[in-house]
């Protein structure tokens, strides 16, 4: 059996995910595994068509594909995302169609499910025979029970390949055939001294007209007082290297080498309102956007956008992508920011409605920024917070020293055992319920 492993870590041999693959390889010496470095080699793959074609040839000849990658900000690394785009752009999907596939990730299991959902969607779009996903904690390999569990998964996958098992489809193909065209003159919204930054990857290329029109309209609503920044105009030398240089003191390996860090500190962190504008590309935004989010990781697990108003301007079928909507919501909530709203061009069938929604987005963002309104987090923000809190306190305090310092100083270590009044109340109540009088009356 020939398995192609598509490696999604930007790291080389030290990749945690690849230790899991190496373990599987050791247990299945009779199986041929070919590991193809995607995330680390993306520039080479993109520039040299022969290299890309060779990968596609190997996929075609393989019996199955194993997508093996680390979680990167709710999804895959930006470079891995770029590979998925290249397969689409270069019409190489037929090499994947009908091929059995499985997903293996390592992470701290913070929104691992959104990355799994994303890749499952891609496999469905490409008509692959998806077996299952396996989300390993990055320390699982040290535990015997977890190693056995991983091997059970691999056994099942290999059996599915050998027996040509049928695979269920989870997602419908996406469709989007409306375009926004403004109807009304922009209704002006004063920014009242609030700093508004609109960040976009919009380009003049085909398929971006709708996004560009929404962008132009919103900018006009803000009466020219919003700063529009094009991600493509910034010098961003490359994707996150995963080197964790930032862990100690939030300095990035790219410091001084490109525009990103200064731009983040001077333009984004000083804004009151951030609007992220992009078009859906496969089942996420573009890989340019993904690289942006990956590179923000130099802030590690510190909510560097806390207190800001965040809105999204999206062109594409967001209604068909609840996974992506969840990513936007969760991202905003864990940042302790406020999700003002998401406006998409899906409403364009109703003339004038997008215009009104854009005006409302602008108006609310200024109103909330003025009153410092942050809505309470849902499970997404709260659950995410607890995972980070526990991990920084425990497993990943090293190398994330800066996070530990920040969490300690900002009261983020809000473990329930520190709440002495609740502990006292619980103690009293547990004594009380044991008294016959109270127990009889269900007190
Ligand atoms: C930039 C960056 C972003 C990450 N984002 C997530 C995330 O969203 N969720 C998560 O659970 N882990 C996240 N992680 C942790 C990695 O997924 C985890 O450490 C993984 O095991 C690294 O695998 P690798 O060594 O193969 O690259 C992130 C790590 C980095 C460096």
Domain assignment of residue 187, yes or no = no
Q: Tell me, yes or no, whether 64 and 143 share the same domain.
A: yes
Looking at residue 223, which CATH number applies to its domain?
3.40.50.360
- CA 9 – CA 68 distance, rounded (Å): 8
Residue that terminates a domain, selected from 162, 185, 219: 162
In angstroms, what is the span from residue 107 Cα to ligand 1's centroid?
Answer: 5
pLDDT of residue 442: 62
Task: Kindly list the strands in the beta sheet with 196-200, ordered across the sheet, starting from the edge strand earlier in the chain.
Answer: 226-230, 196-200, 273-279, 309-315, 338-344
Mean pLDDT by 10 residues, the chain (443 residues): 98 96 98 98 98 98 98 98 98 98 98 98 98 98 98 98 98 97 96 98 85 97 96 97 97 97 98 98 98 98 98 98 98 98 97 97 98 98 98 97 98 91 91 81 61
Q: Tell me, yes or no, whether 12 and 92 share the same domain.
A: yes
Is 106 touching ligand 1 by the criterion CB < 6 Å?
yes
- CA 157 – CA 129 distance, rounded (Å): 11
Domain assignment of residue 108, yes or no = yes
Q: Tell me, yes or no, whether 263 and 251 share the same domain.
A: yes
- Nearest partner of 290 among 146, 114, 160, judged by Cα: 114
In angstroms, what is the span from residue 331 Cα to ligand 1's centroid?
Answer: 15
Q: Tell me, yes or no, whether 13 and 135 share the same domain.
A: yes
Report the nearest-CA residue for atom 4 of ligand 1: 72
Is 208 touching ligand 1 by the criterion CB < 6 Å?
no
Q: Tell me, yes or no, whether 280 and 142 share the same domain.
A: no
Q: Tell me, yes or no, whether 156 and 30 share the same domain.
A: yes
Q: Tell me, yes or no, whether 269 and 321 share the same domain.
A: yes
Domain assignment of residue 188, yes or no = no
**Number of structural domains, the chain?**
3
Domain assignment of residue 228, yes or no = yes
- CA 98 – CA 130 distance, rounded (Å): 9
Is 67 touching ligand 1 by the criterion CB < 6 Å?
no
In angstroms, what is the span from residue 375 Cα to ligand 1's centroid?
Answer: 28
In angstroms, what is the span from residue 395 Cα to ligand 1's centroid?
Answer: 13
| 243 backbone φψ class: left, alpha, beta (φ>0; ψ -120 to 50) | alpha
Is 403 touching ligand 1 by the criterion CB < 6 Å?
no
- CA 249 – CA 252 distance, rounded (Å): 9
pLDDT of residue 441: 67
> Which of 108, 335, 388 gets mutated to test ligand 1 (max ligand atoms within 8 A of its CB)?
108
Instruction: Provide φ and ψ at 303, rounded to 5°.
Output: -75, 85
In angstroms, what is the span from residue 67 Cα to ligand 1's centroid?
Answer: 15
pLDDT of residue 38: 98
Complete DSSP assignment for 118-174: HHHHHHHHTT-EEEEEEEEETTGGG-HHHHHHHHHHHHHHHHHHHTT------SPPP
Domain assignment of residue 171, yes or no = no
Instruction: Provide φ and ψ at 200, rounded to 5°.
Output: -145, 155
Q: Tell me, yes or no, whether 251 and 391 share the same domain.
A: no
Q: Tell me, yes or no, whether 157 and 286 share the same domain.
A: no
pLDDT of residue 316: 98
Q: Tell me, yes or no, whether 259 and 362 share the same domain.
A: yes
pLDDT of residue 233: 96
Residue that terminates a domain, selected from 162, 184, 206: 162
Total length of the chain = 443
pLDDT of residue 205: 72
Atom of ligand 1 nearest to the CA of 74: 8
- CA 220 – CA 223 distance, rounded (Å): 5
Q: Tell me, yes or no, whether 362 and 390 share the same domain.
A: no
Atom of ligand 1 nearest to the CA of 244: 31
Residue 423's domain spans which residues?
380-432
pLDDT of residue 418: 81
Domain assignment of residue 57, yes or no = yes
Is 15 touching ligand 1 by the criterion CB < 6 Å?
yes
Domain assignment of residue 369, yes or no = yes
Domain assignment of residue 437, yes or no = no
Q: Tell me, yes or no, whether 361 and 405 share the same domain.
A: no
Is 300 touching ligand 1 by the criterion CB < 6 Å?
no
Residue that terminates a domain, selected from 377, 403, 422: 377
């Amino acid at each position: 059996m020939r398995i192609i492993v598509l490696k999604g870590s930007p790291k080389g041999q030290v990749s945690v995910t690849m230790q899991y693959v190496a373990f599987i390889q050791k247990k299945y010496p009779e199986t041929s595994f070919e590991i193809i470095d995607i995330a680390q080699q993306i520039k080479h793959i993109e520039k040299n068509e022969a290299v890309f074609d060779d990968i596609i040839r190997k996929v075609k000849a393989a019996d199955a594909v194993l997508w093996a990658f680390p979680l990167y900000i709710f999804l895959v690394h930006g470079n891995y995302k770029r590979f998925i785009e290249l397969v689409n752009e270069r019409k190489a999907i037929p090499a994947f169609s009908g091929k059995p596939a499985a997903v293996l990730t390592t992470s701290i299991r913070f929104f691992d499910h959104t990355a799994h959902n994303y890749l499952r969607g891609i496999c469905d779009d490409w008509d692959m025979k998806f077996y299952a996903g396996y989300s390993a904690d990055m320390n699982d390999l040290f535990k015997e029970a977890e190693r056995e569990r991983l091997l059970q998964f691999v056994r099942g996958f290999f059996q599915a390949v050998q027996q040509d098992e049928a695979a269920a489809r989870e997602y419908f193909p996406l469709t989007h055939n409306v375009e926004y065209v403004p109807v009304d003159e922009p209704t002006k919204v004063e920014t009242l001294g609030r700093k508004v930054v609109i960040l976009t990857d919009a380009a003049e290329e085909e398929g971006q007209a709708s996004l560009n029109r929404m962008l132009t309209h919103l900018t006009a609503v803000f009466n020219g007082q919003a700063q529009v920044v094009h991600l493509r105009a910034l010098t961003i030398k490359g994707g996150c290297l995963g080197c964790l240089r930032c862990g100690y003191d939030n300095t990035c390996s790219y410091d001084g080498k490109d525009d990103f860090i200064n731009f983040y500190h001077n333009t984004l962190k000083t804004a009151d309102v951030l609007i992220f504008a992009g078009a859906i590309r496969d089942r996420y935004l573009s890989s340019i956007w993904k690289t942006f989010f990956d590179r923000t990781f130099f802030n590690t697990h510190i909510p560097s956008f806390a207190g800001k108003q965040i809105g999204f301007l999206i062109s594409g079928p967001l209604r068909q992508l609840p996974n992506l909507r969840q990513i936007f919501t969760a991202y905003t909530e864990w940042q302790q920011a406020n999700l003002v709203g998401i406006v998409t061009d899906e409403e364009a069938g109703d003339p004038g409605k997008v215009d009104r929604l854009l005006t409302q987005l602008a108006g609310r963002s200024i109103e909330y920024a003025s009153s410092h309104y942050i809505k309470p987090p849902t499970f997404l923000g709260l659950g995410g917070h607890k995972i980070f809190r526990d991990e920084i306190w425990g497993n990943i305090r090293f190398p994330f020293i800066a996070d530990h310092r920040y969490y300690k100083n900002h009261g983020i270590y809000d473990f329930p055992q520190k709440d002495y009044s609740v502990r006292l109340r619980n103690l009293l109540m547990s004594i009380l319920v044991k008294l016959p009088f109270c127990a009889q009356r269900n007190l």
